[in-house]
Structure 1
Amino acid sequence: MGKNRTLTSVLAVSALTLTLMSCSAEKPAPDDAAAALAEGLSKADLSASSFTAGTPAQINTELQTLLEGMGTVRPAVTVAGIEEDPENDDAAAVRLAYAWDVNMDSAPDWTYESTARLSRGENDTWQVQWAPSVLFDSLADGDRLVRTASTGLRADILDRNGQPLMGSRPVLRIGINKPDIPEDRQGASATALAELAGLDPAGYAAQVAASGPEAFVEAIVQREEADGPVTPEALAGIPGALSIPDSRVLAPTRTFARALLGTVGEATAELIEESGGRLSAGNQTGLSGLQQQYDEQLQGAPGAAVTLENTSGANIVFSINAEDGMPLQTTLDPGLQTLAEGILADEPSASALVAVQPSTGDVLTVANGPGSEGQQTALLGQYPPGSTFKIATSLALLRQGVTPDSSLSCPAELSVDGRKFNNASSYPAAFVGDIPLRDAFAQSCNTAFINTRDTVPQDALASAAEDLGIGVSASMGVPAFFGSVPEDAEGTAHAASMIGQGEILVSPLALAVAAASVGKGERVTPLLVTPGAGTQAPGAATETASAPASASASAAPAESDAGSFTAAEASSLRELMRGVVTGGGAAMLSDVPGEPVLAKTGTAEFGSETPPRTHAWVVAVQGDLAVAVFVAEGELGSTSGGPLMQAFLDGAAGRP
């Protein structure tokens, strides 16, 4: 009898347990509510959550106030755990894991957990018991989080000797300080300062008028050591004009290697968007050139601090120190760069001068004349090389058994498939007819080289050019065009290729590398940015600038081994190039002091005019220096480029 009562009791308890479990199972768990809260906090939008007090719109307003001082920085929030109350199945506590990228370098740096309490309300809906501490445990009503950013020192771009080429230099910010002058005098002062600084007077006066009454309206930033245009004496005569000492990242002069080094200034809206949060309004950043390409390395890692602020004061709850940037080492020689830019200063058309050290491949100068209008002619220009390409053609001929003394036919005119080819109008009549290769090279006989087209197929010409470095890409640390020589060309196209016309394109850099290869006796690989610890090269995958469609018949070969260029071939090419100086078109270089100069001039036709316009080229090798000079709107290489080359080599004489 007792046993039956016990069994009955057990069955009754079991039934009750099943009933409770059944009822509990019908109620939703807090998981979905916890996930919605975490997602809403990540987006700073809690519209998908329910609250025990207040509407989602009201809570969102409070959340925005708490986060207002954090700018655009938002946390990634996940659910770390849920603990249900064992005594009350309508209550739960949610642990929320926060991960903030406070310094905006794409990696979380501030992590912590907070707790949010949930309760099950009407219709079994889980509701959040909102409080500021849900965002951060220490927050209370009236508090807010505030982020402040900091930056380390921007690193310098260095020259080949490790000395600063571009770094922080003292400047003066010059403008009108409106509190210092009555309103009715501000327009006159703004006009006077604009005229002094070379600005549009009406535009600057309008800018001053539109600014607030306490504004300092900057007109010009001038190097502290500059002589003008705004002198202290002139500034003193303008009421309200003010000069504020500051610093800017600058090169030695306004024009020094500007297209290469680039500039630093306030981040544009486009750069801010592209930075993925790394940049914000007001940040200084690289705007062009190496300063933009290597901005992250030069800028270093940003720092930031988060403070909890209220009416009683502020307390730092998290901070991360800024890190200074890392210098960028280049191979530039500042003395030679300055010399080259001075030589090109009066050339009205696009122009460039590139110097390379054959023994190392170091690029010593990347100079662009004012006619290039800020474009990177020296590294990215794509032009037919004209007769300077006869260096490659001669190499191809040497490989076919031709020697400097071999006889070539140099008629005054030559017809290929109906197209007439001539020599330059200044070509000496004494060298028409059968002449040795050395004379054809020194005098630059177009018809003689075209007459060898059956001896040198197009692929052999392309191979010879490649062994000199033309069309061979190199990881030199900056975008560049290394040249393009089609492997297939027939008829007039092949004939034109023999003299550096047709579809052959080079940059001044490419020709300087070819000359350096002749000087060294093996193919030279150029280098401009020296690899080092931490050196970063954004965009390195696109270092080789593409050729236009007309040159796409042969893509530039990938960087490869040094090729098959031999010491004997180099010796013969040096002999031919020396002849251009001693008895050919580069005679003006014969008196340059120092080691003997080797050279080749070139003139390349372009355009559709009659007569056609011409590019002027000269390449030269002197000791451990190889140079290419280019003038976009020249006459002959000897007359337009020769004097520029002479001035550069004269100026470089005696330098180590």
Structure 2
Amino acid sequence: MKRSSRIKRTLSATAVLALASMTLTACFEEPSPHEAIRDFLVGWKQEQYDLAAARTDADPKIVAKALSDAKLDLDANSFEFKINSVKRSGDQAKADFTAEVDLGENNPLWVYDGALPLRVVDGRWKVHWSPSVLHPKLGEGQRFAVPTKPVGRRAIVDRDGASLQTDMQLYVVGVTPGQLGADAEEVCNRLAGITGYAADRLLSKVRSSPPSDFVPLVTLGAKRHQELRAQLQDIKGIQINQEPHPVAPADPKGIVGSVSTLTARGEQQLGGPQRAGDSIGRSGLQRAYQDHLTGSTVTKVVTLDLKTGEEVAVLDELESQRDAVEVHTTIDSSIQRAAQTAVQGISAGTLVAVEASTGKILAVSTAGSFDQIKDSLDGQYPGGTAMSIVAAYALLKADRDPKMKLPCAPRRTVGGAWFENSGAQSVQPTASGTLQSNFANGCVTGLASLARLVDAEQLARSSEELGIGKPWKLPLASFSGKWPKTPGDAEKAQAIAGQNIEISPLGMALIAGSLASGTWNPPLLVTKPTSPDPSQATLPQAQPAAVPLDGKARDSLVSMMRLGVRAGTARPAGTVNNVHGIRADVPGKTLSWFVGWQGDVAIAVLADKADPSALAGRFFSAVGNSS
């Protein structure tokens, strides 16, 4: 009896202990799989691979390496996850999610649906690990790869579709991954040490590519290649291919702009989808239209067999966000050559030519220290006596007679401001001068005296009709001028003499174009695409409307411009038939202007220590010879 009682008590105690054990386990079992799902996906996303691996039922080292390899194999910038649903059945569950992978290279996101199988292990929910956790079609013994086919940089072309670039020899440094074997990391480290590119970025490019593909890693110009050639050739497995790329700018070089390869530092500064080694516009239209010119890389996401390197499956083919397109400009190459010929040999200056009837920019040439954007388009130069066009137009609109008496004195004071005929031009003072003769000869004192005949509102209105201060739209920095406030005769006289107003050569060429055609037109440089990259737009997106000029006043002013070439100080330009224009000095400076046109080609020439009328004549002669 006693033995039997002891047995019963022992069995009872065992049962109580078992029950207690079951209750204890139940108390410490995670109530849902949500924390496991969260920890795994957050660890994957934030590259905290140990956190993610700890939430799986496999060896944490194997899982952490698989997650790290996936990022390298995809050359991914980032992962984002969205949980769509969680279904539980006892101690098993399944979480459906959507992954968004940023593959860079100007590609759209790679989006796919995946699933996390989960089960309870020792009271905790765990992701049941297999390669299919990374992607449903990724099997054992396989890895991701991202074959890419870069779209070549498109051309910037002139109005006839001819390229405004010539070939430049570049050196493409790369590898064939299958030939590197276990040395891939060492090769990338050595290449990074020589070039300054991030080693992990280079290795990602190698890892993400099929083993038999040539993978370009770094593109070098001739000078940089020469500097690094010996060191590069010392790295076993490196291949260097010399390739012609149409990126060297033709005239107008400053407007077209330069192209280089993106450096490692530049990649960090840019913060965009471009990668070190990609071509990038550094200036001019190449920079303004960088995204249009480069477009997107054609990309596939595939799985490869780890042993053979053969492609197993195509997981996705990513369509380009946009196509790389040519940038069509209004530049006329024959007129551009004439403009280059015109300024050749002078110490400093610029010539800007526009199509009078449309405002299209036909040519921009410079010499010496002048820059085609900073000076020709965006320069802020004193208008000199060329600003007398504004006053003459205002007076002619008020029905003043071009032959009205207007003496040309050696010096004069207007409203307390002194004016003197001096400078490059030889102006002969005369008491029998007229409005048209003073205009044709650029008599500063005679023109300044017009301030007493025209009010401030008339001047401001005329300057606006001629485009001064208009908020036009161009993809490159430019300046349309600014007419000053002119409360008194002194300020009006200074404006007429161009002493207190600045304007760009482009703005002056458009004034000439408005007189030639009868309508002021805003400038146009690029016809397609219709807008540059948003980050590069320098002025308002809407172009101002064209402005018809007063017909009668314009006709009279055209006659006065013709007189400037036939009998005025713009005579050297008259060697070509039917040229209209005036020559204007900038008092106190060695700068001088020619503003005029022939046919539908209007120009402004700004020269330092050179005769702008002679340059204009040379230009129009060259245009005539090329037509």
TM range (shorter): 0.7 to 0.9
- 1:112 to partner: Cα distance: 2.3
- 1:599 to partner: Cα distance: 0.7
- 1:521 to partner: Cα distance: 1.1
User: Distance between the aligned counterparts of 1:299 and 1:445, measured in 2?
Assistant: 53
Partner of 1:603: 585
**Aligned residue type for 1:601:** R
Checking the alignment, whether the CA contact within 8 Å between 2:451 and 2:496 is kept in structure 1 is yes
Partner of 2:561: 577
Partner of 2:252: 257
Superposition pairs for residues 224-243 of structure 1, below 5 Å? Answer: none
User: Distance between the aligned counterparts of 1:137 and 1:459, measured in 2?
Assistant: 75
User: Distance between the aligned counterparts of 1:113 and 1:467, measured in 2?
Assistant: 61
Partner of 1:469: 467
Partner of 1:119: 119
**Aligned residue type for 1:303:** V
Q: CA RMSD in A?
A: 3.5
1:35 aligns to 2:38 (yes or no): yes
Partner of 2:570: 586
Superposition pairs for residues 231-380 of structure 1, below 5 Å? Answer: 246-250=243-247, 256-269=251-264, 272-273=267-268, 276-309=271-304, 310-315=306-311, 316-320=314-318, 325-349=324-348, 351-372=349-370, 376-380=374-378
Secondary structure of 1:621's counterpart equals: strand
Match of 2:405 among 399, 404, 407: 407
Residues 515 and 269 from structure 1, CA distance in 2 versus in 1: closer, same or farther, beyond 3 angstroms? farther
**Aligned residue type for 1:60:** A
- 1:64 to partner: Cα distance: 0.7
**Aligned residue type for 2:33:** P
User: Distance between the aligned counterparts of 1:386 and 1:454, measured in 2?
Assistant: 19
User: Distance between the aligned counterparts of 1:602 and 1:617, measured in 2?
Assistant: 5
Checking the alignment, whether the CA contact within 8 Å between 2:346 and 2:367 is kept in structure 1 is yes
Per-residue Cα deviation, 1:570-611 (whole angstroms, up to 9, x for no partner): 11111111111122101112221x4x1111111224xxxxxx
- 1:434 to partner: Cα distance: 4.9
Match of 2:523 among 522, 526, 531: 526
Partner of 2:180: none
Checking the alignment, whether the CA contact within 8 Å between 2:108 and 2:318 is kept in structure 1 is no
Match of 1:568 among 552, 558, 575: 552
Count of aligned residue pairs for this structure pair: 550
Secondary structure of 2:147's counterpart equals: strand
1:508 aligns to 2:505 (yes or no): yes
User: Distance between the aligned counterparts of 1:204 and 1:338, measured in 2?
Assistant: 33
Partner of 2:132: 133
Checking the alignment, whether the CA contact within 8 Å between 1:68 and 1:146 is kept in structure 2 is no
- 1:560 to partner: Cα distance: 3.5
**Aligned residue type for 1:410:** C
Partner of 1:91: 92
Checking the alignment, whether the CA contact within 8 Å between 2:406 and 2:438 is kept in structure 1 is yes
Partner of 2:189: none
Residues 653 and 65 from structure 1, CA distance in 2 versus in 1: closer, same or farther, beyond 3 angstroms? same
- 1:291 to partner: Cα distance: 1.6
Partner of 1:154: 153
Segment drifting more, 336-345 vs 137-146: 137-146
- 1:519 to partner: Cα distance: 0.5
Partner of 2:437: 439
Residues 489 and 311 from structure 1, CA distance in 2 versus in 1: closer, same or farther, beyond 3 angstroms? farther
Checking the alignment, whether the CA contact within 8 Å between 1:386 and 1:604 is kept in structure 2 is yes
Segment drifting more, 42-51 vs 507-516: 42-51
- 1:512 to partner: Cα distance: 0.5
Per-residue Cα deviation, 1:479-520 (whole angstroms, up to 9, x for no partner): 322222124554644331111111x11111100000000001
Residues 62 and 509 from structure 1, CA distance in 2 versus in 1: closer, same or farther, beyond 3 angstroms? same
Secondary structure of 1:107's counterpart equals: coil
User: Distance between the aligned counterparts of 1:259 and 1:428, measured in 2?
Assistant: 35
Superposition pairs for residues 480-519 of structure 1, below 5 Å? Answer: 480-488=478-486, 490=488, 492-502=490-500, 504-519=501-516
- 1:78 to partner: Cα distance: 1.3
1:647 aligns to 2:592 (yes or no): no
Match of 1:629 among 601, 605, 608: 605
**Aligned residue type for 1:333:** D
Secondary structure of 1:75's counterpart equals: strand
Q: Indicate the percent of aligned positions where both proteins have the same amino acid.
A: 25
Secondary structure of 1:494's counterpart equals: helix
Checking the alignment, whether the CA contact within 8 Å between 1:267 and 1:287 is kept in structure 2 is no
User: Distance between the aligned counterparts of 2:396 and 2:388, measured in 1?
Assistant: 12
Tell me, which stretches of 5 or more residues in structure 1 are unaligned? 1-19, 176-198, 219-241, 546-556, 606-611
User: Distance between the aligned counterparts of 1:217 and 1:342, measured in 2?
Assistant: 46
Checking the alignment, whether the CA contact within 8 Å between 1:361 and 1:526 is kept in structure 2 is yes
**Aligned residue type for 1:415:** T
- 1:535 to partner: Cα distance: 4.0
**Aligned residue type for 2:83:** V
**Aligned residue type for 1:41:** W
Partner of 1:178: none
Residues 259 and 215 from structure 1, CA distance in 2 versus in 1: closer, same or farther, beyond 3 angstroms? farther
Superposition pairs for residues 200-211 of structure 1, below 5 Å? Answer: 207-211=228-232
Checking the alignment, whether the CA contact within 8 Å between 2:424 and 2:590 is kept in structure 1 is no
Partner of 2:204: none
Checking the alignment, whether the CA contact within 8 Å between 1:158 and 1:328 is kept in structure 2 is yes
Per-residue Cα deviation, 1:270-294 (whole angstroms, up to 9, x for no partner): 6534665431122123222112211
Checking the alignment, whether the CA contact within 8 Å between 1:152 and 1:325 is kept in structure 2 is yes
User: Distance between the aligned counterparts of 1:617 and 1:429, measured in 2?
Assistant: 15
- 1:305 to partner: Cα distance: 2.1
Partner of 1:6: none
User: Distance between the aligned counterparts of 2:265 and 2:278, measured in 1?
Assistant: 13
Tell me, which stretches of 5 or more residues in structure 2 are unaligned? 1-22, 174-221
**Aligned residue type for 2:159:** R
User: Distance between the aligned counterparts of 2:172 and 2:73, measured in 1?
Assistant: 32
User: Distance between the aligned counterparts of 1:360 and 1:267, measured in 2?
Assistant: 37
Segment drifting more, 411-420 vs 296-305: 411-420
Structure ranking higher on relative contact order (CA contacts 8 Å, 6+ apart): 2
Segment drifting more, 27-36 vs 69-78: 27-36
With normalisation by structure 1, the TM-score equals 0.75
Residues 420 and 320 from structure 1, CA distance in 2 versus in 1: closer, same or farther, beyond 3 angstroms? same
Secondary structure of 1:340's counterpart equals: helix
With normalisation by structure 2, the TM-score equals 0.79
